[in-house]
Amino acid sequence: MPTGNIEKTITDLKITKDDLIICADGGYDIARQLNIVPDYIIGDLDSLIKNPDRLNIKIIKAPSMKDETDTVLCINHALSEKCSDIYILGGTGNRLDHTYAVLQTLKYISENGSKGYFINDSETVLYLKNNSIGIDGKCKYISVFSYSERSTGVDLKGFKYPLDNAELTNEFPLGISNELSNKGEISVKNGELLIFLIK
C-alpha cells in the first residue's frame, strides 16, 4: 500500500485521457478506490484483490519467479510505448528496500531515453546525469545527493546555500535540506545526482 495522501498527489498531476496509466499488480486496487481505470495491469498478480475482468483492462501476467520487479515490468512497457515522461506513484509501500529499488529505477528510465519521476504526497525525486535542470520555488526544501561515487562540477544557483563547481560524493550528505529564494538551477558536469524536491 502506498504511504501518504496519494489521492492529492494524483489530483496535482492532472491526469488526462491521453496519459497511459499502468498499474503494477495490487496498485490496481488503489486506482479502483480513486475511480481511476488503468489501461494496463502488469505483474505476477500476487497482491491483486479486486477482479478487473469487466472493465476491458489489458492484463499482462508475469511469472512469480522473475528478475524484474512489477514496477520495472510497468516501466519496460511504458518505454515500449515511447512514453517520454514516466511518473511512479505509490511504488514503495512501507519498506525501505522497495523505496531504494524505485530510486534505482529512475536511473534505469534515464538510461533508456525517458525522464523518470518518483512522486508521493510530500516529495518528488529526479535523477540527473551530466546535465542541468531548473527548479521553481514551490518546494520547501531541496536535497541533492551524489548517486555515483563522485559527482564533479556541481552548481547550485539561486539557493540559500549555493555551490560552485563543487564535488559531491555518495558517502557524505552535503546537499541535504537546501532552500530556494525563488527559482534555481542544479547542474552537474560529470556524475549522477538524485534530487529530492520536498513540498
CATH of the domain at 78: 3.40.50.10240
Please report whether residue 1 resides in a domain: no
Closest CA to 192 of 158, 150, 159, 141: 150
> Within this chain, do residues 184 and 100 fall inside the same structural domain, yes or no?
no
Mean pLDDT value of segment 1-29: 70
Considering the domain architecture, whether residues 100 and 39 belong to the same structural domain is answered as yes
Q: Is residue 122 part of a domain?
A: no
| Statement: residue 133 has pLDDT above 80 | yes
**Residue ranges in the chain assigned as alpha helix (H):** 6-13, 27-33, 70-80, 96-111
Asked if residue 134 and residue 86 are part of one domain, the reply reads no
- State whether 193 and 112 are in the same domain: no
Tell me what the mean pLDDT of segment 149-162 comes to: 96
| 111 plus 148 within the same structural domain | no
Q: Which residue has the higher pLDDT, 26 or 20?
A: 20
Task: Indicate whether 90 and 22 sit together in one domain.
Answer: yes
- The parent domain of residue 146 ranges over 127-198
CATH number at residue 148: 2.60.120.320
Percent of the chain whose pLDDT exceeds 70: 87
User: Is 177 within a domain?
Assistant: yes
135 shares a domain with 106: no
Name the domain boundary from 117, 149, 173: 117
Asked whether the predicted pLDDT for residue 185 surpasses 50, the reply is yes
Listed residues 117, 140, 159: the one ending a domain: 117
Checking if the pLDDT of 183 tops 90, the result is no
The pLDDT assigned to 153 comes to 98
Task: Quote the pLDDT of residue 24.
Answer: 87
Q: Specify if 10 maps to a domain.
A: yes
For strands 58-61 and 132-135, give the pairing: unpaired
* Average pLDDT value for the chain: 86
Residues 89 and 185: their CA atoms lie apart, in Å, by 25
The three grid cell numbers given for residue 158, joined into one nine-digit string: 539561486
At residue 6 the predicted structure's pLDDT band, cuts being 50, 70 and 90, is low
Give the global pTM.
0.86
CA distances from 33 to 26, 29, 36, 49, 60 (A): 12, 6, 8, 12, 21
For the segment 42-91, what is each residue's pLDDT rounded down to a tens digit? Answer: 987 766 655 665 567 888 888 878 888 889 999 999 999 999 999 998 76
Is a pLDDT exceeding 80 seen at residue 154?
yes
Mean pLDDT of 124-139: 90
Let me know whether 76 and 14 are in one domain.
yes
Same domain, 102 and 10: yes
Q: Are residues 132 and 72 in the same domain?
A: no
* pLDDT-based confidence at residue 3 (cuts at 50, 70, 90): very low
- Report the pLDDT averaged over residues 23-47: 82
| 191 in the same domain as 94 | no
Domain check: are 146 and 102 in the same one?
no
87-96, 117-126, 129-138, 189-198: which has the minimum mean pLDDT?
A: 87-96
Establish if 29 belongs to a structural domain. Answer: yes
Q: Which residue has the cell 486506482?
A: 31
Does 198 have pLDDT greater than 80?
Answer: yes
- In tens, the pLDDT along 159-179 reads 999 999 999 999 999 999 999
- Number of domains making up the chain: 2
